[in-house]
Amino acid sequence: MTLNANNASPSKAHSNTPRTGQQYSIRYGDYSAVITELGATLRRLDFRHKNIVVPFDDNEVVPCCNGYVLVPYPNRLEDGAYDFDGEHYQLPIDEASRQTALHGDGYRHMWVLESLTESSVTLSWRVPGIIGYPFDVIVTVTYALGAEGLTMTTVAYNNDTKPAPWAFGIHPWLSNGSQATDPDDIEAANALCKLTLPCDSHVTASPDRLLPTGVEPVEGSVYDLRGNPSLEGRPFDDAWTSPIRDHDGNTTAVFTRPDGLQISLTGDDTINAWQVCTATGFPEGHHPSGVAVEPMTAYANALRSGKNLVSIEAGASYGTTIHYQARQY
């Protein structure tokens, strides 16, 4: 039988590659991680064989944005539309029920391997020529493990001749330490966890579209997570801002599990907001066994509102560093 281009079978090597692409495994001391070719996604991160983030299978559709790198913007964009530098742009609608574009475009693409060592990997992605974001930006992400955990460094280089709008975030689901799969059991396990989120303001949002409507002080409210409260009775899919910073300008969220594992997630001085999602009410199969704790340079609608949006000049770069660390108590 003769095969032509229309009925040719894929090569064995190609068909055996996981759907999330090549898997880049790194390790150092007590830590190990796996990063996928698809989206430069953090598929798993372990400390002493315990999950720091909720892992997923390398051959399945990525559930609930696990480990996404949110570029060139995080979270929701109202109607997928925005204006920048005197021009109007329209992005595809990803979330039909809320009529929003969601989490940028980087997670959809296979990234290019730039370097791989035993303890680090660097991947890059050049934004393709798309109508809704026609800016020639090259994004490089490096994951590096060391004795103190995982450092993720993301750099956006504007390869264009005009300024480019930019915002960044990540979407890790921090594992609650259980193996629960039933949504009720997952939420019960989440309720036993504690979360410190050092922010003075909560971002109010429309209940139907989860788009920002303003900010309010957290003092005296369920949104005050500065004192390390438990997550019992705190169902969230919310953003916080006005981060409290240390002397280096960093801001750190701390997630503590009932098994004594404490996970610190630190963002540098470019991190201006956090999103927390407990997945409360999510159906089985779409409810990760943990809590999404997401550092962002800007919260939802930044391309449209301009709030904390960065304009990267032609030939310039903009970088953000995130650090994961685990301790067992």
Question: What single-letter DSSP state applies at residue 191?
Answer: H
CA–CA separation, 288 and 16 (whole Å) = 26
- pLDDT, tens digit, for every residue of 304-316? 999 999 999 999 9
Q: What is the pTM of this model?
A: 0.95
pLDDT averaged over every residue in the chain: 95
Residue environment code for 155-175, b if the CB has 16+ CB neighbours within 10 A, otherwise e = bbbbebeebbbbbbbbbbbbb
* Tens-place pLDDT, residues 108-131: 999 999 999 999 999 999 999 989
The conformation of residue 99, written as its DSSP 8-state character, comes to T
Q: What average pLDDT score do residues 149-158 get?
A: 99
> Is residue 181 over pLDDT 50?
yes
Mean pLDDT of 73-95: 97
Any idea what DSSP says for residue 12? H
- Does residue 5 form part of some domain? no
Q: Look at residue 2 in the predicted model and tell me its pLDDT.
A: 42
Q: Is residue 13 part of a domain?
A: no
Encoding tokens for residue 240?
């916080």
Number of domains comprising the chain: 1
Nearest in space to 189 (alpha carbons), one of 57, 279, 63: 279
Residue 7 lies in a domain: no
Check residue 9 and give its pLDDT. 59
Residue 12, pLDDT > 70, answer: no
C-alpha distance across the termini of the chain, in Å: 65
Burial 191-212 (b: 16+ CB within 10 A, else e): bbbbbbbbbebbbebeeebbbb
The band of 285, judged by pLDDT with boundaries at 50, 70 and 90, is confident
Of the given ranges (139-143, 178-182, 210-214, 224-228), which has the lowest mean pLDDT?
178-182
CB neighbours (10 Å) of residue 98?
Answer: 16
pLDDT at 11: 59
Domain-located, residue 36? yes
Residue 254: domain span: 20-328
CATH number reported for the structural domain that contains residue 108 in this entry:
2.70.98.10
pLDDT at 286: 87
Span 96-104, mean pLDDT? 97
Residue 13, pLDDT score: 56
Indicate the Cα dihedral angle 83, 140, 151, 50, nearest 10°.
90
Is the pLDDT confidence value at 6 over 80? no
Query: Does residue 10 sit within a domain?
Result: no
The answer to whether residue 248 is domain-embedded is: yes
* Res 4 pLDDT > 60: no
| Closest C-alpha among 218, 186, 213, 205 to residue 285 | 186
